[in-house]
Amino acid sequence: MFRPNNYCSSTNDVETELPPHREMGQLSFDEKKYLLAVERGDLASVRRILQRAAEAQFIDINCVDPLGRSALLIAIDNENFEMIELLLKFQVETKDALLHAISEEYVEAVELLLDYEDMIHKPGEPYSWEAISPDSGAFTSDITPLTLAAHRNNYEIIKILLDRGATLPTPHDARCGCAACVTSRHEDSLRHSRSRINSYRALASPSLISLSSKDPILTAFELSWELRRLSFLEHEFKCEYQELRRRCQDFATALLDHTRGSSELEVMLNHEAGCPSYEHGERMHLKRLKLAIRYRQKKFVAHPNVQQLLASIWYEGLPGFRRKNIVLQTLEIMRIGLLFPFLSILYILAPHSTAGRFMRKPFIKFICHSASYFTFLFLLILASQRIESTMAAWFGAEGFAKYLSDDTATKRGANPTFVEWLVLSWVMGLVWSEIKQLWDVGLQEYSSDMWNVIDFVTNALYVATISLRAVAYYLVQKEVEKNPNIALLPREQWDTWDPMLLSEGLFAAANIFSSLKLVYIFSVNPYLGPIQVSLSRMVMDILKFFFLYILVLFAFSCGLNQLLWYYADLEKKVCLESRPTTGNRIDQDACVVWRRFSNLFETMQTLFWAAFGLIDLENFELAGIKGFTRFWGLLMFGSYSVINVVVLLNLLIAMMNHSYQSISVRSEKADTEWKFARSRLWISYFEEGGTAPPPFNIIPSPKSVVSLATWISEKVCTLSRSVRKRKLYTVKRKALQQNEREGRHQSIMRNLVRRYITDEQRKSENQGVTEDDVNEIKQDISAFRCELLEILRGSGVNTSVASGHQGPGGRKNRHKERRLMKGFNLGTFESDHMSEIQTNHTFLSHLSMESTLESQSVSGSLRSKNSTFGRLTSLVRPVKTTKNNWGALVEAAKKASSKNLLDRLETKSEISPSPTSSGKKKREEYAKARYVCVSLPGDPDKMRTDSTDYSSDNCKSSEDKIEIDVDNKMHQNYVIRSNEDGIPNLPGVQPIRSCPRGWF
């Protein structure tokens, strides 16, 4: 038969250019049988192949299938423990098999591979999973067995690895500047970041935290806070870090679900490393809960168990208060609030008395402080309404009332009134309270609370008001020495920046902040508290929006001021010329309009008030303005109005609506946020100090005097021998108590961890039947079938009647076997098929030329377009990759794996080397081959292929199809039709039988 000269060479060229991932799938027939036996769990066949390979080396026992799986990985995927043992017995390379076993969470295989690794590993050399090439490995180089086990959150595997000494180092900080981090970041920044994420994903594993940490709750808190910080540093991976942070929070919260009593909860929430642990009956300091608040563990703080404990502490001073109705509760609160001055005085005089201990209860302390603050607000109202003059008028002292009114309204540097002295005393008490809080908690924690920042601003305004009043008094006294009448100067003649006027402005602003502080007090209410949380979120949205709004406002203000400043100056001149001093009539409009655009600051004010509709178009009717300038100014003003009103204000509304919807009053998140805010307020009243409310807290109490004297005596008498002995005894006693209480805390934490892990394992076991369970059953059935056939074969039973070597069944398993046996390769269509198709096309082109020369008897039919054989030249043409009739055949050839079919036919041709054998013998050979039938008489577009084995004896005679056979190789990419008159005398062209009509 004719064969092109370049046919073999082109094929060889294509094979030498295969990429590595395709060479990986080029397996011999015996290697395919070997991997297929492992896939099916045929232990006996695998043992025979391995024994034969050990003697003859006819296969590579470490070969991999086209998907990159070695025999060991296939056995791990199928969870065939006996197969894994057999493969390791014959020293199959493990490579990253341990990582695959961990990924599949196959505990038995992990233990076996670890033992095998300990047996073959040599000190100083890398482990098997470390020696594998990064390009061929399924896992990155930073993935260690412990890291992968932590990613899978498998308790058993993590326990096995930790018992063998595996460690997981803490990754370097994101801003680390060490040589290793700088080099890694310079070589591959993406890999450096992903490596850090993988490390933190492992560290955030609940199972790893439970097994490696003595204090899992503290570890979860610290790791959650670190992940929060990283989410702000690496914005590209913010979602990943936030997800890991939520996992840590959920783990810490889940441990609370397993507390079985108040004693366990109290020990857990009051524990702090290095400090004496809590004993039942002591005053709770709640160090661990304060730490949770500082690390913003909102789910932990809002947990029902924690809230129940806090509520029991909060209402400790008033038993049965929560069971009363709203009227009785209101009366009880009013009674305590009215008595707060007397309770405060009793506490100062006798802090350890019954009234003093009652005053120290958190809820009582809160009521007294709230009553004190309400009194302070009432005094502010009295000061703003000049109550002294009003009271004097009410009681008939008209002259005194007029004196007080004139003194307050017109006198510069006036002395404080009685109400202002009371306000001053409250301000001093509030400032002292904030100073003590700042000293106790530190600047960082103090500034983390927004309400503390508001208190600081409010107190700063009050202090500035008092200072300016003092400055005004001092300046006036100096001026009175020169001119006694200067103090009676009317207010309208004061300087614009007079200290008295400045103090009044700051005092008014401080009053606003003081009144808004009531929102913080109302956060304890279950109805107003969630609204306060939503309002806080909206304030943050307003601050974000304000930045963009100021930018737009500044941009248009610059433009309008540059355009209209000259005409504003003309309006100012008109206003000055029309004053009474000149004898002209005053132009009210000119004296108002010129300020609108006189400078940048005034222009910004004008545009700001324009957003509320307070600026009309008459303000652009300036003196001397031209038409074009007026039009251009109105156009700019209109553009600003559209951007500000239509775009920005609607954007603000959308942002506020989104914040409100995200923390809806009735949602679970709103409840969590409110309980967290309420807990912060409750915790602030659980402290020992700060019992007396302002202004009583500025009065030195005997308790404070005694504490100060004790501190001074300890500092002075530190060298005394008796003092040193007493301190040494105290230190030893505290150390013993600390060890005992630390052991109690460790015991409780172990119990919580054990309950948590047991519950998680029970949940995983109760998930129901999964696909993995079904595949495991299929694999067991397949392995049992192979073992049974082997036993029967060994007993002399004829097993040839068995239904062939079938796999475990299932679509996925059939796909795996098909890919293995048919040489499925991971590559593009061009790399895997185009070279072969082009080779076939070249060969068939030569075949067509030779057929034309040898078929002179049918030359007339070749000229006829209507005859079947006459279209031979149009049918035999290059295969196109476009979507046409022959494109369907190309796709069919690809799916049917024509290369494997050619190989199989080439193997069969060794039986009958002569291409000129009889038709009967040829049909017998073809009966063993795989036929691909194509419907030709019908529509060419409706062509179909099938890879089913059909015997030629079952096919009916047909003159519609012929088959091209070149050296016993059947090419499926082309179909040549014969005419009805006969078959062309072409070498290698044989009639074939048509297959049943039902399947093509």
Structure tokens at 820: 């293995």
The answer to whether the peptide bond before residue 695 is cis (omega within 30 degrees of 0) is yes
Phi, psi of 61 (to 5 degrees): -70, -10
Name the band, by pLDDT with cuts 50, 70 and 90, for residue 466: very high
Name, of 40-44, 304-308, 320-324, 354-358, the range with top average pLDDT. 304-308
- Give me the mean pLDDT over the 273-292 stretch: 77
Q: Mean of the pLDDT values across residues 288-304?
A: 93
Look at the block and give the residue holding tokens 């003159």.
Answer: 959
Rounded Cα distance between 584 and 760, Å, is 92
- C-alpha distance from residue 421 to each of 379, 385, 429, 469, 904 (Å): 10, 15, 13, 13, 108
DSSP codes of every residue in 757-807? HHHHHHHHHTS---HHHHHHHHHHHHHHHHHHHHHHHHTT---TTS--S--
Q: Which of 625-634, 872-881, 923-932, 989-998 has the highest mean pLDDT?
A: 625-634
Q: What is the pLDDT of residue 814?
A: 67
Nearest one of 433, 449, 435 to 294, comparing CA atoms = 449
Average pLDDT over residues 675-690: 89
The radius of gyration of the chain from alpha carbons, rounded to an integer in Å, stands at 46
* Cβ neighbourhood burial of 410 (10 Å; 0-12, 13-18, 19+): middle
443 contact partners, CB below 8 Å, separation of at least 6: none
Per-residue pLDDT, 14: 31
Higher pLDDT, 535 or 835: 535
Q: Can you name the residues that pair with 962 across neighbouring β-strands? A: 991
Alpha-carbon distance values, 419 to 350, 384, 391, 472 (Å): 29, 10, 12, 19
Confidence label for 911 from pLDDT (cuts 50, 70 and 90)? very low
Both tokens of 616, joined, read: 């009309």
pLDDT score for 718: 57
Cβ 343 vs Cβ 349: under 8 Å: no
- Does residue 15 carry a pLDDT above 60? no
pLDDT of 709 > 60? The answer is yes
Quickly state the pLDDT bin for 253 (edges 50, 70, 90).
very high
Q: Specify the residue for token string 């067509």.
A: 848
Q: Please report the DSSP string for 393-426 in residue order.
A: HHTT-HHHHHHHHHHHHH-TTPPP-HHHHHHHHH
Range of 288-302, 642-656, 884-898 with top mean pLDDT: 288-302
| Pick from 289-303, 321-335, 375-389: least confident | 375-389
pLDDT-wise least confident of 213-227, 507-521, 732-746, 813-827: 813-827
3-class SS of residue 969: strand
Measured distance CA(707)–CA(285) in Å, rounded: 20
Pick 154 or 399 by higher pLDDT: 154
Give the per-residue pLDDT at 636: 93
Which pLDDT score is estimated for 6? 37
Higher pLDDT, 244 or 938: 244
Residue from 525, 529, 546 nearest 663 by CA = 529
**Calpha distance 285→276 (Å, rounded):** 11
Share of the chain above pLDDT 70, in %: 69
- What lies within 8 Å, CB to CB, of 304 at 6+ separation is none
pLDDT digits (tens, 9 = 90+) for 946-965: 333 333 333 333 333 333 33
Distance CA 70, CA 59 (A): 13
Confidence band of 719 (pLDDT split at 50, 70, 90): low
Q: Which class for 997: exposed (0-12), middle (13-18), buried (19 or more C-beta within 10 A)?
A: exposed
As a whole number of angstroms, the distance between CA 536 and CA 531 comes to 9
64 forms beta bridges with 70
Nearest 10 degrees: CA dihedral of 286, 289, 294, 295?
150
Residue 590 has pLDDT above 80, yes or no: no
The whole-number pLDDT of residue 404 equals 56
Helix (H, G, I), strand (E, B) or coil at 296: coil
In this prediction, residue 371 carries a pLDDT of 95
CA 604 centroid distance within chain? 42
Measured CA to CA, the distance from residue 635 to residue 616 in angstroms comes to 14
Per-residue pLDDT band at 595 (split at 50, 70, 90): confident
CB 839 within 8 A of CB 8: no
In 3D, which of 51, 46, 53, 48 has the Cα closest to residue 71?
Answer: 46
Token output for 573? 């001149």
CA-CA-CA-CA torsion for 477, 479, 480, 485, nearest 10 degrees?
Answer: -130
pLDDT at position 159 over 60: yes
Edge-to-edge strand list for the sheet holding 989-991: 969-970, 962-966, 989-991
Structure tokens at 759: 């519950």
Q: Which own/partner pairs from 102-108 qualify as long-range (CB within 8 Å, at least 24 positions apart)?
A: 102/145, 102/148, 102/149, 102/152, 102/154, 102/157, 103/148, 103/152, 104/76, 104/77, 104/79, 105/152, 105/154, 105/157, 106/76, 106/79, 107/154, 107/156, 107/157, 107/160, 108/81
Q: What is the pLDDT of residue 715?
A: 65
Q: How much is the pLDDT for 731?
A: 65
Instruction: Give the pLDDT confidence of 850-868 residue by residue, as tens digits.
Output: 444 344 433 443 333 343 3
Q: Place 366 in a pLDDT band, splitting at 50, 70 and 90.
A: very high
pLDDT exceeds cutoff 70 at 342: yes
d(CA 667, CA 675): 13
* Confidence at residue 528, expressed as pLDDT on a 0 to 100 scale: 84
Residue 753 has pLDDT above 90, yes or no: yes
174 neighbors 233 (Cβ within 8 angstroms): yes
**pLDDT, tens digit (0-9, with 9 covering 90-100), for 412-461:** 778 888 899 999 999 999 999 999 989 888 888 888 888 899 999 999 99
d(CA 722, CA 728): 10
Mean pLDDT, rounded, for 203-225: 93
Asked if 201 and 736 touch (Cβ cutoff 8 Å), the reply is no
Exposed, middle or buried by CB within 10 Å (0-12, 13-18, 19+), for 794?
exposed
- Looking at residue 740, its pLDDT comes to 72
Return the pLDDT at 208: 94
Give me 930's structure tokens: 């795989």
Report whether pLDDT(847) > 50.
no
Predicted pLDDT of residue 811:
64
pLDDT of residue 671: 86
Burial (0-12, 13-18, 19+ Cβ within 10 Å), 468 = buried
Closest CA to 623 of 657, 594, 664: 594
For helices 179-187 and 189-203, the axis angle rounded to 10 degrees is: 120
In single-letter form, the type of residue at position 956 comes to: K
- Residue 16 confidence class, pLDDT cut points 50, 70, 90: very low
Transcribe 511-525 into DSSP letters: HHHHHHTHHHHGGGS
Mean pLDDT lowest among 86-100, 329-343, 529-543, 598-612? 529-543
Q: Is the pLDDT of residue 589 over 80?
A: no
Question: What is d(CA 147, CA 212) in angstroms, rounded to the nearest whole number?
Answer: 13
**Residue 691, CB half-sphere, CA atoms under 13 Å: how many?**
25
Q: How confident is the model at residue 734 (pLDDT cuts 50, 70, 90)?
A: low
The two tokens of residue 614 are 């307070």
What share of the chain in percent tops pLDDT 90? Answer: 31
Q: Is the pLDDT of residue 886 over 50?
A: no
Which range in 128-132, 712-716, 871-875 is most confidently predicted, on average pLDDT? 128-132
Backbone angles phi, psi at 907, to 5 degrees: -65, -40
**Parallel/antiparallel/unpaired status of strands 989-991 and 969-970:** unpaired
CA–CA dist 65, 67 (Å, integer) = 5
Residue 813 backbone phi and psi in degrees, to 5: -70, -40
Residue 364 to residue 333: CA distance in whole angstroms: 9
- Token digits of residue 348: 């100062």
Q: Which band of pLDDT confidence, cut at 50, 70 and 90, is reported for residue 291? A: very high
Q: What is the pLDDT of residue 742?
A: 78
pLDDT, tens only, 809-828: 566 666 667 767 766 555 54
pLDDT of residue 271: 85
Adjacent-strand bridge partners of 964: 989
Q: What is the DSSP letter of 648?
A: I
Residue with tokens 């040549």: 976
